[in-house]
Amino acid sequence: MRLSPEEARARFAAARVARLASVDAAGQPHLVPVTFVVIDDRVFHAVDRKPKRTTGLKRLRNIAATGMVALLCDYYDDDWARLWWVRADGRAELWTDTTRCASVFAALRAKYPQYVREPPVGPVVAVRVERWSGWAASQPGHGGRDSSVSTV
C-alpha cells in the first residue's frame, strides 16, 4: 500500500539509518549509509568521527556540485507482510557555521548515544525534503507485529 506523506515521514524519522544518494555533475550516482535526524521537513546528517579515508568526501563534493539527493529507509523481514520503505527526495546544502549546526548536533546526540561520547564534527548536510514517499506491504498493526517502527 502507498503511504501518505505524513506516514512516510513518521516511519523515516523513527528509523536508525538511511542511505543517502547523491549525484555528481556528470550524473554519476553515489550511495552511503548515514545517521540522521528529521526536524520539520528537513533531514540532517553530519559528518562524524568514524574513520574515513579522506575528509574530501564524495557525498559532500556531489552536494556542492548539484544539491540533488534522495534518502531511503527500509525495513526487511522474512515475513513479507511486514516490509516497508520510505524515501525523502530533496535539495541539500552544506552547513559549516558551528552556531547554525549546534541544534542539529544536539538532536543527533539525543537520537544516538554514541554521539554523546564522540560528537559529530560536521559539516552538516541539510536536506529540504520536497517529497516524502513510501510503501508498506500492510497497514500498521497488520502482518504480525507493528511494522511502522524500524528495528534497522
Q: What is the mean pLDDT of the chain?
A: 89
* pLDDT tops 90 at residue 53: no
- 131 backbone dihedrals φ, ψ, rounded to 5°: -155, 125
CATH of domain 5-136: 2.30.110.10
**In the prediction, which pLDDT does 49 show?**
73
- 82 backbone dihedrals φ, ψ, rounded to 5°: -105, 5
* pLDDT tops 50 at residue 138: yes
CA dihedral (34, 16, 67, 3) positive or negative: positive
Q: How confident is the model at residue 149 (pLDDT cuts 50, 70, 90)?
A: very low
Sheet of 84-95, strand order:
29-34, 18-23, 68-75, 84-95, 124-136, 42-46, 37-39
* pLDDT tops 80 at residue 124: yes
Percentage of the chain modeled with pLDDT above 90: 80
Q: How confident is the model at residue 19 (pLDDT cuts 50, 70, 90)?
A: very high
* pLDDT tops 50 at residue 152: no
pTM of the entire structure? 0.87
The C-alpha cell at 138 is 500492510
Question: Would you list the DSSP string of 27-59?
Answer: --EEEEEE--EEETTEEEEE--SS--S-SS-HH
**In the prediction, which pLDDT does 101 show?**
93
Residues 36-43 have a mean pLDDT of 96
